[in-house]
Chain A
Amino acid sequence: DTEVTQTPKHLVMGMTNKKSLKCEQHMGHRAMYWYKQKAKKPPELMFVYSYEKLSINESVPSRFSPECPNSSLLNLHLHALQPEDSALYLCASSQDSGNYGYTFGSGTRLTVV
């Protein structure tokens, strides 16, 4: 299995809703990432988990809450989002060291109404 699987692919939520994005990989990668990407912009790093521990939080608002239940799963819990949070949310994973890039999931297209 050489894929990163993200669900759902599309999500529309209201500003008072609570929802979660899910990411799964079975490549034995020990680093997992959440990126946010707006249209025609590069991916912006949000969070990094290394060996299931949060290692980087790029000053992301608390309405985004990451969780890493085990080495294969990464969640992003969403609560009280704003319309400007609408974007493509990308999950990626990589091996813990060496000359490795990321494997990206196909992303969740989030629309906040």
Chain B
Amino acid sequence: GQNIDQPTEMTATEGAIVQINCTYQTSGFNGLFWYQQHAGEAPTFLSYNVLDGLEEKGRFSSFLSRSKGYSYLLLKELQMKDSASYLCAVRLSGNTPLVFGKGTRLSVIA
């Protein structure tokens, strides 16, 4: 089976930096995605990595190491509105459906 692990919950302070880790052990790999999901709403796309390294997009960055089966999402200058679940998802190959991790619930506190 496919295994994608993320911490269940994290708490961080407004204005700080937080790193959400994701490790995966899958039968194939053709890209890793991060999504943000506020309670009761649809997931929204944050980032995509298929090659090793760091992808930066404003306050959000995502890193991938394929040899280690590891990714992280880095959120800088945290805001209260960043309180949400963050889903790591792996595409195994081609156009196969994404396999989602269980998600990390991030709480940003004042």
Question: Residues of A at under 8 Å CB distance from B?
Answer: 31, 33, 40-43, 45, 48, 50, 56, 88, 90, 94, 96-97, 99, 101-107, 109
Contact = CB atoms under 8 A, between A and B. Distances in A.
Closest 7 pairs between A and B when the two form their complex, measured CB to CB: A104-B42, A42-B100, A101-B33, A106-B42, A107-B42, A104-B43, A101-B45
A70 B9 CA distance: 41
A106 B41 contact: yes
Interface of B: 31, 33, 35, 40-45, 48, 50, 85, 87, 89, 94-95, 97-98, 100-103, 105
B97 A45 contact: yes
A41 B94 CA distance: 26
B97 A88 contact: no
A102 B45 CA distance: 7
B41 to A, nearest CB: 7
Contacts of B97: 33, 45, 48, 56
Nearest to A94: B95
Nearest to A6: B42
Nearest to A91: B42
B45 A97 contact: no
Contacts of B41: 106-107
A106 B48 CA distance: 21
Given A42-B87, A99-B31, A104-B42, 14 more contacts: A40-B85, A42-B100, A43-B100, A45-B97, A48-B97, A56-B97, A88-B40, A90-B43, A94-B95, A99-B48, A101-B35, A101-B89, A104-B43, A106-B42
26 contacts: A33-B97, A40-B105, A41-B102, A41-B103, A42-B100, A42-B101, A42-B102, A42-B103, A43-B87, A43-B100, A45-B97, A50-B95, A90-B42, A94-B95, A97-B95, A101-B33, A101-B45, A101-B89, A102-B43, A102-B98, A103-B45, A104-B42, A105-B42, A107-B41, A107-B42, A109-B40
Contacts of A97: 94-95
B44 A104 contact: yes
Nearest to A56: B97
